[in-house]
Structure 1
């Protein structure tokens, strides 16, 4: 990864949303296949997201950012404000760009964004059965805060959070 080529830009218009939609779907499809998630048994999984869903998120005030290598979008993250914390959502890196530090670049961006907004913590909800992803977030400093089984999901949701470090 050459950092001079990397940029993170806010997703503002419909054309950028369409590019982001492709990144999200392609990123989450690998996990959907691995865990046998389908549109029938888990329609809310980002592998099955559509443009209307992204537009609704944007209209709700959820901030969206794309990770670009040169001018090619290779990643995505959404950040939703909730009181004194933020929810990290739809963190995506295209499969061919994984394991190169791009996910960490996105998480670092989220924490800098949250810190600038005065947040105290960043929270996520992930598939508990995805131990590789859970371990990755734990390495970054996230800690499990609870588990919940929802009737409409074929997996258990693991809630995690990490405090936003304050500069004194």
Structure 2
């Protein structure tokens, strides 16, 4: 693994981060036939303005730098019941399989613990077995699924207890 650094995202970096999210999510979007028409909320179709709105809403955002460029991203949100979420976890395809995803997950867990969180919830494409297994190796447990009429896949919910 190349030396890396994780930093809080500054507003000037949001466009770059949105691009990292788009590139990262596009591989899965292609695998599952997601398009801007059938799944406009997917990260593969992330609009820069949406990322800014999520930051302004209070989501914490972190960029992982390697080779002096942003190659990874993760956002932390908080639900009304006090549960934290990890959202838009992304690593550029050419930087995958180097441990950066695990580094981002571990960093997010530490930040959530520091904020007093005791539970993390995530939502994934349930049919994405590779991703589901990856989260399970990182300590997440499957808690159920839900079909949303507006999505072309089943959402799988997973949790991690700190």
Separation (CA, whole Å) in 2 of partners of 1:140 and 1:108: 9
Q: Post-superposition shift, 1:62?
A: 0.4
Q: Post-superposition shift, 1:125?
A: 0.2
| Number of aligned positions between the proteins | 161
Separation (CA, whole Å) in 2 of partners of 1:25 and 1:96: 14
Separation (CA, whole Å) in 1 of partners of 2:68 and 2:132: 30
Residue 107 of structure 2: aligned partner: 109
**2:40 pairs with one of 31, 37, 43:** 43
Separation (CA, whole Å) in 1 of partners of 2:97 and 2:144: 27
* Contact 1:84/1:118 (<8 A) preserved: no
Residue 69 of structure 2: aligned partner: 72
User: Which stretch has the larger CA shift, 126-135 or 76-85?
Assistant: 76-85
Deviations 1:51-99 (A, max 9, x none): 1100110110000000001421000000002343210000000001111
Structure 2 stretches lacking a partner, 5+ long:
none
* Contact 1:144/1:160 (<8 A) preserved: yes
Separation (CA, whole Å) in 2 of partners of 1:93 and 1:73: 9
* Contact 1:28/1:92 (<8 A) preserved: yes
Structure 1 counterpart SS, 2:155: strand
Quote the RMSD (CA, aligned, Å): 0.9
Deviations 1:36-60 (A, max 9, x none): 1000111110000101100110110
**1:146 pairs with one of 136, 144, 147:** 144
Deviations 1:11-48 (A, max 9, x none): 121x2001101100000000000111000111110000
Residue 161 of structure 1: aligned partner: 159
1:84 counterpart = 2:82:
yes
Separation (CA, whole Å) in 2 of partners of 1:70 and 1:31: 25
Residue 137 of structure 1: aligned partner: 135
User: Runs in 1 of length 4+ with deviation above 3 angstroms?
Assistant: none
**1:59 pairs with one of 53, 56, 59:** 56
Structure 1 length-normalised TM: 0.93
